[in-house]
Amino acid sequence: MIKRATFWERPGWLFCILLFLLHFASVKLTLFCAVTPEKVVVVWLPNAVLLAALVRFNGQRAPLMAALTFSSDILANLGTFPLHEAVLLSIINLFEVMLSFLLMRRSGATFRLQRTQDLLRFVVAGPIAGTLAAALMAAVVMQQIGGDTTPYLTLARLWWFGDALGLLIYTPMLLAFTYPPRQRRRRTWLDDAGLALTLLLATAVLFAQGRTIDSFPVTPTLLLPAVAVIAFRFGIRMTTLFVALISLGMAMTMTAHFKPFGDVPVYLETLHAQEFILTLCIVGIGFAVMLNELRMRERELESRVQERTQELEQSNQLLAAMSATDGLTGIANRRRFDQMLNAEWSRAWRGRQPLTVAMLDVDLFKQYNDHYGHQAGDEVLREVAQALAAQVRRCGDFVARYGGEEFAVISQSTDAEHARTTAGMMCAAVEALRIPHALSPHGVVTVSVGMAVTVPDADSDAAGLLKHADAALYRAKQLGRNRAELADAL
């Protein structure tokens, strides 16, 4: 089995066989049901098959595809035209498609024809310019070689209109069906009923022979509102399919001598049919493409808004993190510490649990700065902060830089004994860094710690706890530094 993605990546042998068969069938189908007994082509669809293939693969293997459809064109035409005429007309068909494709490429139309701008570029390149150029040549061939006595301009116009409509109807349809739909819509029974009714109406209109019901003429124009509704409800695929079916149906009924536009001369009838099919295309395909573009833009806008919201959320998170972080040490700052202390205080109060605050101060830091310089002092603060953070991470506590060379730690559910052990460990952790301090009696950088433990109640507050911890820190400094002191009960 060839996978869908692989099949549409490059025109492989399977695609080429299918292209040949589809092209051959489309010539036969057109000759069978879209050419009136007077040999007037209402819509010529084979050229759309090659153009859609060239556009779909952006010109990959163009010579091979051209050769295949050229031979299929001659083969299929042989029964209707003599060989030399079939060859010449096939050359003109090929010229028409190639010119349309090159003009489309030059205009920058993208493959899917799903935006109004792309559709307009396609219309100018194919149904207007490419087919007109071919029509002017074909009329000469038909007159000079085929011996057709119809006036030159009439011949050219008939070729032009038939081929232009063929390209206009079938190229967008074939392209729409070679891509998976962007968004599948859920169809309701009402949609299905509407579709069935529209097809019924189309059949009735095509076979009504332009009759009137209660002096109301049953003409194909009745189908225009229906195609607009289909474009609105079902999107490009279904609309192009509907337009194609109606056009082919109309051509078929005309070749079978039904007269959807009443009893009018054949040249006028063909003109009416072509005018009607053109209007059907503009209303149906044009409306579907416009709606599709609007929906695509809406989706693009939605995803862009989503992207921006996500970016904004990330920036907000970053900002929040930045406003809570100390720039020098990278740990929480005083602001965050105050928030945490209030939150933990309330929690401990509600749970009647003890709460511990420890204040830490780097010993003889002024001397360190004076001796080693301010930048070396900054580096010490960073290292001390990391050592303390590693220490509290293990116990699930919270550490912040309180300001200057002071740090603060909050511990939950700690009794006095546990608080003392933890503080001792923090002193040891800083001493273990072994940062030389020539002016300290310990020879290395050390910290002093003051702690206060309390079970919050109505008579105490967080500020009081901090004050007690600060007093204990002062005592630790007095008692020789590099030690931890516990404050008296609050």
Ligand X SMILES: Nc1nc2c(ncn2[C@@H]2O[C@H](COP(=O)(O)OP(=O)(O)OP(=O)(O)O)[C@@H](O)[C@H]2O)c(=O)[nH]1
Confirm or reject binding of residue 377 to ligand X (CB under 6 A): yes
> Near ligand X by CB under 6 A, which window of 230-238, 264-272, 345-353, 376-384?
376-384
Confirm or reject binding of residue 106 to ligand X (CB under 6 A): no
Confirm or reject binding of residue 365 to ligand X (CB under 6 A): yes
**Binding residues with ligand X: total (CB under 6 A):** 17
Confirm or reject binding of residue 381 to ligand X (CB under 6 A): yes
Which DSSP category does 437 fall into?
-
Shortest reach from residue 437's CB to ligand X, in Å: 11
**What is the β-pairing status of strands 406-412 and 355-362?**
antiparallel
Residues in 342-361 that interact with ligand X by CB under 6 A: 361
> Near ligand X by CB under 6 A, which window of 140-148, 222-230, 317-325, 369-377?
369-377
Q: Which is nearer to ligand X, 134 or 359 (CB)?
A: 359
Write the interaction track for ligand X spanning residues 300-339; mark x where CB under 6 A is met and - where it is not: ----------------------------x-----------
Shortest reach from residue 405's CB to ligand X, in Å: 4
Confirm or reject binding of residue 475 to ligand X (CB under 6 A): no
Confirm or reject binding of residue 374 to ligand X (CB under 6 A): yes
> Near ligand X by CB under 6 A, which window of 33-41, 64-72, 306-314, 365-373?
365-373
Q: Which is nearer to ligand X, 217 or 373 (CB)?
A: 373
Shortest reach from residue 450's CB to ligand X, in Å: 12
Confirm or reject binding of residue 378 to ligand X (CB under 6 A): yes
Confirm or reject binding of residue 430 to ligand X (CB under 6 A): no
Q: Which is nearer to ligand X, 150 or 369 (CB)?
A: 369
Write the interaction track for ligand X spanning residues 12-41; mark x where CB under 6 A is met and - where it is not: ------------------------------
Confirm or reject binding of residue 470 to ligand X (CB under 6 A): no
Confirm or reject binding of residue 363 to ligand X (CB under 6 A): yes
* DSSP structure string for 301-333: HHHHHHHHHHHHHHHHHHHHHHHTB-TTTSSB-
Shortest reach from residue 482's CB to ligand X, in Å: 10
Q: Which is nearer to ligand X, 96 or 361 (CB)?
A: 361
Q: Which residues bind ligand X (CB under 6 A)?
A: 328, 361-367, 369, 374, 377-378, 381, 404-405, 477, 481
